[in-house]
């Protein structure tokens, strides 16, 4: 086996070890409300409640949409805009919009 093959094998092995879906987690602080999502796993959590497991969950490259409660009279819809980094909470009483700041994870 020549040295090029060994180096290539080591590189590929190291690359796959470094690829974890946890590396795609993104966390935001939206004026006191914590938002966490992972595009790879299609995961969405707002305030510690996972909305990606709920009915009517939607995620694309720009928007994430979910509901806190499936009851029509009490439903709170949540929309997160990935580009504007903005969280919108909407219920029968009105709309609350919060600007979000990305939380940087310490990689140590």
Cα–Cα nearest to 80, from 42, 35, 47: 35
Task: Kindly report whether the global pTM for this prediction surpasses the value 0.75.
Answer: no
Q: Please count the other Cβ atoms lying within 10 Å of the Cβ belonging to residue 80.
A: 24
Contact assessment for residue 79 and residue 63, using Cβ atoms and an 8 Å cutoff: yes
- Domain limits, the chain: 21-103
Provide the residue-wise pLDDT of the chain in tens; the chain has 108 residues: 577 776 776 555 555 545 555 568 999 999 999 999 999 999 999 999 999 998 889 999 999 999 987 776 778 999 999 999 999 999 988 999 999 999 986 554
Cα 58-60-106 angle, rounded to 5 deg: 100
Provide the 3-class DSSP secondary structure of residue 88: strand
* Residue given tokens 């909470």 in the structure block: 89
């Amino acid at each position: 086996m020549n040295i090029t093959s060994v180096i290539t094998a080591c590189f590929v092995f190291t690359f796959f070890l470094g690829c974890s879906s946890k590396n795609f987690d993104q966390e935001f602080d939206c004026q006191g409300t914590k938002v966490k999502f992972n595009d790879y796993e299609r995961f969405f959590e707002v305030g510690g409640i996972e909305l990606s497991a709920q009915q009517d969950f939607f995620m694309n490259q720009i928007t994430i949409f979910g509901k806190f409660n499936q009851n029509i009279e009490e439903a709170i819809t949540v929309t997160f805009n990935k580009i504007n980094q903005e969280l919108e909470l909407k219920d029968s009483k009105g709309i609350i919009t919060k600007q979000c700041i990305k939380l940087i994870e310490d990689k140590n």
